[in-house]
Every structure is written in structure tokens, then in C-alpha cells.
Amino acid sequence: MTVMEQRGAYRPSPPPAWQPRTDPTPLLPDAAPYRVLGTETAGKADPELLRRLYAQLVIGRRYNAQATALTKQGRLAVYPSSTGQEACEVAAALVLEDRDWLFPSYRDTLAAVVRGVDPVEALTLLRGDWHTGYDPYAHRVAPLCTPLATQLPHAVGLAHAARLKGDDVVALAIVGDGGTSEGDFHEALNFAAVWQAPVVFLVQNNGFAISVPLAKQTAAPSLAHKAVGYGMPGRLVDGNDAAAVHEVLTDAVRHARAGGGPTLVEAVTYRLEAHTNADDDKRYRADSEVDAWRDHDPIALLERELTERGWLDEAGVRAAREDAEALAADLRARLNQDPELDPMDLFDHVYAEPTPQLREQQALLRAELAAGQEGEL
Amino acid sequence: MTTVAVKPATMAQALTRALRDAMAADPSVHVMGEDVGTLGGVFRITDGLAKEFGEDRCTDTPLAEAGILGAAVGMAMYGLRPVVEMQFDAFAYPSFEQLVSHVARMRNRTRGKMPLPITIRVPYGGGIGGVEHHSDSSEAYYMATPGLHVVTPATVPDAYGLLRAAIASDDPVVFLEPKRLYWSKDVWNPDEPQSVEPIGRAVVRRSGRSATLITYGPSVPVCLEAAEAARAEGWDLEVVDLRSLVPFDDETVCASVRRTGRAVVVHESGGFGGPGGEIAARVTERCFHHLEAPVLRVAGFDIPYPPPMLERHHLPGVDRILDAVARLQWEAES
Ligand SMILES: Cc1ncc(C[n+]2csc(CCOP(=O)(O)OP(=O)(O)O)c2C)c(N)n1
């Protein structure tokens, strides 16, 4: 018998043990980013919630502007602004219960502030007086994370531990579009899905990882599509639509709390300012692109919806702005003071008990300081 | 006689020039990493290369250090010479698995059949006011991994010469760039033919008779400054710039110590388990009978790199070096 004859006789059949582990259809994200503002769904939203989102967005924008200004004045070493992305930051913080945990990246100081972290303490890392300025347990906000995507496995582990202990705690972790390329992103999603851990992954897709556009980051149809391969639902949402982000994240948190496992949410948004003050965004993007996104501003979108529906009046707008100014004034006043730092602290928290070697080094520095000399640059 | 007008150039410019010349000379040289294309790298070291050589030769990769180095392994297996950029010292850590398990030992695993000519450029060290994870001195990890060359320039001409040599090397080279020297200037005429330094040779930056400061990378200018300051106290210090940590130039270092009889090793990474321990031990083993005092170390503290507002207390400065020199129990010079 020739090979061709054999081939004709061959009837393909699946190997006996094979069956799909999960039906991919319900896991697939929407074809277009989910929106609420400007659609009929908005009429069914809770006006009180939308006003709360609005007030926080206005505060958030002002916070970003003030922190950026302080960076230009040399008061912060660096500030990665979330201007334009406030809807994601605010919604991420507001959907969580007190007992839940937030795992932010370096760009997410605003989410930490909205969750209750003192605005100056949230900026300590970026000011440069210490690595983490707040007690992570006080508001259940993990330290701002600079290496990309490394906070994601932490979120999975914490959520898993909470479930093992019988607590209905959810962890929400934020990562950028660039961070989704790291191995840690993959490993975190895989663990979360296998363990059915109560985690929500929020990808803030702001178009760029420093200078690299999304098209050079991934060939996936969307970042939300990545969820399907792990066996968890992916959701695609307009990241500038605060009502939509809040709704999608609320669903995901509820799903996780009820034992349904993790969700990957991709919020499509845009970084309106440079990556940080050290970055020159003129090198990699055109003003026209930035301007197009300015027309889709999260604050303007929500303000229009609220005022058109008669849910927000001038007094409401004024009140939000006044709160924002108060926060900015407080930030200015406190960050314009030089922090009082004790170099002896350098040795205090390396171990629970300093090693004899560290004690020696501490003594050396103390003697140097007493002699009025110290290691200079 | 004509005088050539020599413009000062920065270390960053010399590095860019070295990459450009290497790419022009050898079509198998490929540069890749995060933001190295359109942006030219966050420190602008790869500026203009994508434009000149195309995006296939200077490539913005997805944001994944393990992927970058792992892909470089495959590219090198197929005959290319990848030069990868790790954006900052502490962001190279995801690639350690590839580095330690494959890059460093592929030649050995394959009995010499599969050498990997990969250059890994890592901006390292502190002193630029960077926030957490932007100031690590990771040289001890690299030095402890057999199969890697580890080099670090301290001057503008060396930045050019050593990078060319690294790219030309048939072994993997971890090329540590002292980021606080990126903007340091030197008299360097880019229009002249440049010399390529062979990897593995230390150089005496300043000769002296009283003691040797053994140092490298970002600490070289600090040691030179200390040597100047020491003159006022009657100390005549020699400064040896290692340039290459692996291989290590025992000859130059020991010749110096035998002349001076005293040595201090200076670096900003932590002292415990740090490069200074290895160097002090080697010097002691080889020069014991010439030593008038134990070899001392001046290093960073054994702490995670501190926040920028406190880093000046951590980095070895002139005073700390001079104190160590004083502790060498000086005897009056005859
Ligand atoms: C492991 C690691 N590699 C590189 C960097 C340097 N880096 C800081 S931010 C950034 C871009 C991140 O982009 P994205 O994840 O999209 O987040 P975004 O900044 O846009 O919020 C890079 C490459 C880092 N912080 N961590």
C-alpha cells in the first residue's frame, strides 16, 4: 500500500483522553471596549456613585498636576503621572472593601491615595526619603512596585493565603501594558487560574511602555484576550469611562469573592504626559495623537454625563474643585519642607536584629557624622 | 606643527560611537533591548542606530529581560553577535536564569562547540539620585558566575575601547556602565582612529609610592580625587583602575602593591561577599611578604541600596578612603 492510499483510508479522530478543559467562549472579551458614559446604560447608573467618582477624578487630576509641579521644582526625584488615567486609578481603589488588598505599580500613587494612604506618604518613594512611606497593613496597599509585573504573583499568593484561612478577601493588582510581556505576568495569571485565587488583574493599557507602542509589545488581538489561554475571563473596558471601569471591576471583584476565580481586565486608556519627567515623549509620538486622546478626557466625559442628566450642578463642580485645591495646598506645604532624615535608619531595618557587621558600620557612620565628615559623592 | 583641536566627549558619546562602529564593521552585530530604537535608550546610548542600521539591527523588544537574553542566546547560536541592553541594574534580574544557566556555560556544556558571543550592557551603580531599584551594584553576582567576562570602564577612551573589545569577544561579556560617569567628559577625539583595549588588563591611572588604591568604574574618579587630597598629608597614592573584574589582572595589581607595600580596595557595592574580599585575598596570597599592613576595603554598607536622599552616606567618598589610608599605620617616609 502506498502512503497516499494509507492517507486516504485515515480517519482523523481526537486522541481518546482529549477534551477541552474550559469552554473558551464565555472567557472571551467584548469585541470593543465596554462603555457606559454616553450610552443608555448610563441612565441606570447610581447618581451618587457617579458623583463620588467625579469628585475623586477631579482630586486625582489636581494631585497629578501638583506632584508634577513639585518634581519640576526638585521636590520629588521623579513622578510618573497618571494624568489621563485617573478613571482606572480611582475605580480600582473604590471597588475594594476595607479588608481587600491593592497591589499598585510605581504609577499608581493615586490609587493608593484614593484608598486612604496619606498623599505625602504615598509619594515617599518618589521623593526619595525612603522606599515605602506608608505601612502596607494600615490600608492594605502593598508597597508601590518598581520592577515590572513582580507584584502580580504577590497578589496571587496573598489572595490564595486569605482563602486558605477562610477570609473572603480579594486582591486587585495593577500592571501596565508593557508589564504584560514579563514572565511574572504569565506566571501570576497561570497560578491564579489554576488555584482559582480571588484576584483581579487590571491592565492599564496606556498605549506605551516608555517609548514602545503596544503594537511592538504584543501581537494578541487585545491584552484581555490573554486571559483565555489561562482559563480565566478577559474583560475589555474603556479606561477613560469611570463608570464602565467601576462596573467591570465590581463584577470581577464580586466574581472573585464568590469563589469564581480571577479575571483579567484590560482598560484602554492613554498616558497624556511623558512617562516621567526624565522622558522626552516628543521622540516617539505626535502631538496630534495626544490631542485626540485629550478629547476623550475621563473627567470631561463624566462631567458631561452628570450635568446633562441634571445629576451635578455648579455647586457640585465647585465643591470638587475646592477639595482638590485643599489637597494640593496641603501637598505643597508638606512637600516643600525638607524631610528630617536620620542616616542611622539605614541600618535599622535590614534584619529584625542588626548583624554585628551592620552595628560596626553604623558605628563608623555615627563617628563620621560626629566628626562632621561623611562619605561624599 | 599643527595642533589638533580636541573636543571633550562624554562617556555616553563614546559608547554610542563604539556601537555604531561595531555595527558598521560587522553585519552580524545586533543591538536590542527596551526602548533602544526610536528613543535611543533611556540614556540615549543607542541613539540613531535604528535610523542608521534599520530596526532589524537595532530592535525595540517586548518588555521582558529573560526573553531578551534568551532570544540573544538563540541568535548567537545562529551566528549573530547580539548586544543587549538591560535598562537598569536591578531590572536585569529577571534574566539571571538565562545568564547563569545558559549564557555563562554554553561553551562549557558543549565542549566548545557552541560559544556565545553576547554583550550584555548594564548601566549600574548609584550617585544619580535614582529611586529604588535604579542604583544597584550587581558586579559580585556576575563575578561569581564562571564563564562570564565582567568589564567596566571609568574613562571615555576606555568606554569606547572596552565596548569594542566586548563585542568582538567570542565569549559573553557583562559590560557594566557606571551610570554616574555617563556625562563625564574627557579629551577624546572621535575623528581619530581609536584603540581597542584587550579585555583583562588593569591600568595605573596615577602612580605613587606610599600605597595603592585598587578600584574600578564609578569609584575611579573618587580615588583619584582622594589621591590628590592625600598629597597635602604627604601621602603619595597610586591608583589602579581594574577595568576588567573577570579576567583579573593579578600582574598589574600585584606589581603595584609590591612597589607600595600597602593597598586599599575601593568600590561602592557592599563589602561583605563583595568584590573587595576576592581582591584583598588575591593580593594577600601573592604579595604577603611585601605587605606592610593588611589590605583594607572601603565599600558601600551591607544594606539594600538606600533612597536617594541618603545615598551620600552610603557611597565611599574621599574622606572614608583617606581614613582607610591612615589606618594603614603610616610610617614616616624615608
Ligand atoms: C523588570 C523591569 N524592566 C524594566 C523596567 C524599566 N521601566 C520602568 S517603566 C517601564 C515601562 C513600563 O510600561 P508599562 O508596563 O506599559 O507601564 P506604564 O509606565 O505605561 O504605566 C520600563 C521599561 C522596570 N521598571 N522593570
CA of A79 to the centre of ligand 1 (A): 13
- Candidates B42, B63, B121, B131: which one to mutate for ligand 1, based on the most atoms within 8 Å of Cβ? B63
In 3D space, the residue among A120, A63, A172, A117 whose CA is nearest the CA of residue A336 turns out to be A120
Nearest CA in chain B to A275: B42
Give the span between the Cα atoms of A217 and A240, in whole angstroms: 21
Partners of residue A174 on adjacent β-strands: A202
Average pLDDT, chain B: 95
CA of A143 to the centre of ligand 1 (A): 16
User: Are A350 and B312 within 8 A, CB to CB?
Assistant: no
Burial of residue A14 (number of CB atoms within 10 Å: 0-12, 13-18, 19+): exposed
CA of A178 to the centre of ligand 1 (A): 6
Which residues in chain B have Cβ-Cβ distances shorter than 8 Å to A345? 310
Residue A329 backbone dihedrals phi, psi, to 5 degrees: -65, -40
User: Are A212 and B42 within 8 A, CB to CB?
Assistant: no
Question: What digits encode the pLDDT tens for the residues B92-134?
Answer: 999 999 999 999 999 999 999 999 999 999 999 999 999 999 9
**The pLDDT value given to residue B1:** 42
> What is the architecture, at CATH level 2, of domain B203-327?
3-Layer(aba) Sandwich (3.40)
Given CB atoms, is A209 within the 8 Å cutoff of chain B?
A: yes
User: Are B62 and A278 within 8 A, CB to CB?
Assistant: no
Query: How far is B309 from chain A, CA to nearest CA, in Å?
Result: 5
Which residues in chain B have Cβ-Cβ distances shorter than 8 Å to A209? 34-35, 63
Which residues in chain A have Cβ-Cβ distances shorter than 8 Å to B316? 375
Average of per-residue pLDDT across B298-307: 98
State yes or no: pLDDT of B329 exceeds 80: no
Which CATH number does B8-187 carry? 3.40.50.970
Interface ipTM: 0.92
DSSP B84: E
Q: Residue A27, Cβ neighbours under 10 Å: how many?
A: 21
Question: What digits encode the pLDDT tens for the residues B229-250?
Answer: 999 989 999 999 999 999 999 9
From B30, B102, B133, B134, the catalytic residue: B134
pTM for this structure?
Answer: 0.94
User: What is the pLDDT confidence band of residue A121, given thresholds at 50, 70 and 90?
Assistant: very high
Question: What digits encode the pLDDT tens for the residues A208-227?
Answer: 999 999 999 999 999 999 99
* Helical segments of A171-266, H only: 183-195, 226-230, 242-257
Question: What digits encode the pLDDT tens for the residues A22-49?
Answer: 899 999 999 999 999 999 999 999 999 9
In 3D space, the residue among A135, A136, A133 whose CA is nearest the CA of residue A154 turns out to be A136
Give the span between the Cα atoms of A110 and A104, in whole angstroms: 10
In total, the C-beta contacts within 8 angstroms joining chain A to chain B are: 132
Q: Is B289 a catalytic residue?
A: no
**The pLDDT value given to residue B192:** 81
User: What is the pLDDT confidence band of residue A307, given thresholds at 50, 70 and 90?
Assistant: very high
Q: What percent of chain A has pLDDT over 70?
A: 96
In the numeric block, which cell numbers belong to residue B78? 545562529
Residue A111 near residue A92, CB atoms below 8 Å: yes
Question: What digits encode the pLDDT tens for the residues B167-220?
Answer: 999 999 999 999 999 999 988 887 888 888 799 999 999 999 999 999 999 999
User: What is the pLDDT confidence band of residue A2, given thresholds at 50, 70 and 90?
Assistant: low
State yes or no: pLDDT of B4 exceeds 70: no
**The pLDDT value given to residue B45:** 98
Question: What digits encode the pLDDT tens for the residues A321-354?
Answer: 999 999 999 999 999 999 999 999 999 999 999 9
Which residues in chain B have Cβ-Cβ distances shorter than 8 Å to A376? 312, 317-319
Cα angle B254, B257, B259; round to 5: 110
Question: What digits encode the pLDDT tens for the residues A64-102?
Answer: 999 999 999 999 999 999 999 999 999 999 999 999 999
With cell 512637600, the residue in question is A335
**Helices A86-94 + A298-308 axis angle, to 10:** 70
Residue ranges per structural domain of chain B: 8-187, 203-327
Residues with CB under 6 A from ligand 1: A 107, 146-148, 176-179, 204, 206, 208-210, 271, 275; B 34, 63, 65, 87, 91, 94
Average of per-residue pLDDT across A176-194: 98
DSSP A62-93: HHHHHHHHHHHTTSSS-----TT-HHHHHHHH
Residue A159 near residue A189, CB atoms below 8 Å: no
User: Are A357 and B302 within 8 A, CB to CB?
Assistant: yes
Of A263-272, A306-315, B87-96, B325-334, the range with the lowest mean pLDDT is B325-334
In 3D space, the residue among A192, A180, A174, A169 whose CA is nearest the CA of residue A253 turns out to be A169
> Do B8-187 and B203-327 fold alike per CATH?
yes
Question: What stretch of H or E contains B312?
Answer: helix B311-314
Question: What digits encode the pLDDT tens for the residues B256-272?
Answer: 999 999 999 999 999 99
In this complex, the residue of B66, B307, B312 whose CB is nearest that of residue A376 is B312
Question: What digits encode the pLDDT tens for the residues A102-120?
Answer: 999 999 999 999 999 999 9
Nearest CA in chain B to A147: B91
CA-to-CA separations, B77 to B103, B113, B300, B313, in angstroms, rounded: 11, 10, 38, 45
Cis peptide bond N-terminal to A12, omega within 30: no
Give the E-state strand segments of B94-247 in sequence order: 119-124, 149-151, 173-178, 185-187, 203-206, 211-215, 237-241, 244-246
Give the span between the Cα atoms of A68 and A84, in whole angstroms: 14
Residue A112 near residue B292, CB atoms below 8 Å: no
Question: What digits encode the pLDDT tens for the residues B285-299?
Answer: 999 999 999 999 999
Chain B residues with a Cβ under 8 Å from any Cβ in chain A: 34-35, 37-40, 42, 60, 62-67, 90-91, 93-94, 127, 129-134, 272, 301-304, 306-310, 312-320
User: Are A130 and B67 within 8 A, CB to CB?
Assistant: no
User: What is the pLDDT confidence band of residue A9, given thresholds at 50, 70 and 90?
Assistant: low
User: Are A128 and B309 within 8 A, CB to CB?
Assistant: yes
**For A246-281, b where at least 16 C-beta lie within 10 A, e where not — what string?**
bbbbbbbbebbeeeebbbbbbbbbbbbbbbbeebeb
Q: Residue A2, Cβ neighbours under 10 Å: how many?
A: 7
**The pLDDT value given to residue B332:** 43
Average of per-residue pLDDT across B311-328: 96
